[in-house]
Amino acid sequence: MAAQILRYADLEHQLGMNRITIWRRTKNDPTFPRPIRLGGGRTAAVGFLAAEVEAWIEQQAIARVTSEF
């Protein structure tokens, strides 16, 4: 089974964050999923593994629930 890759536009829609907020999270939040390069070179397109994004969302929900008690 192939891994599903989310591009920035997909991630923006799924998380309700804009591109710059996502970029800041990748730089400043060690728990946020890391982008992967989809080609060679420094300017290659990047994507995010859908499974890692889903796991991050679940962690955020768990953290919210546990901090409320």
For residues 9 and 18, is the Cβ–Cβ distance under 8 A? no
Residue 16 φ/ψ region, left for φ over 0, alpha for ψ in the -120 to 50 degree band, beta for the rest: left
List the domain range (segments joined by +) for residue 16.
5-68
Percent of the chain with pLDDT over 90: 74
Provide the token pair at 16: 């309700």
Specify the pTM. 0.83
Interatomic CA distance for residues 68 and 66, integer angstroms: 5
What pLDDT score does 68 carry? Answer: 65
Segment 3-15, tens digit of pLDDT: 899 999 999 999 9
Provide the token pair at 19: 């591109």
Domain count, the chain: 1
pLDDT beyond 70 at 47: yes
Confidence band (pLDDT; 50, 70, 90) for 67? confident
Cα 62 to its chain centre, rounded Å, is: 17
What pLDDT score does 41 carry? Answer: 82
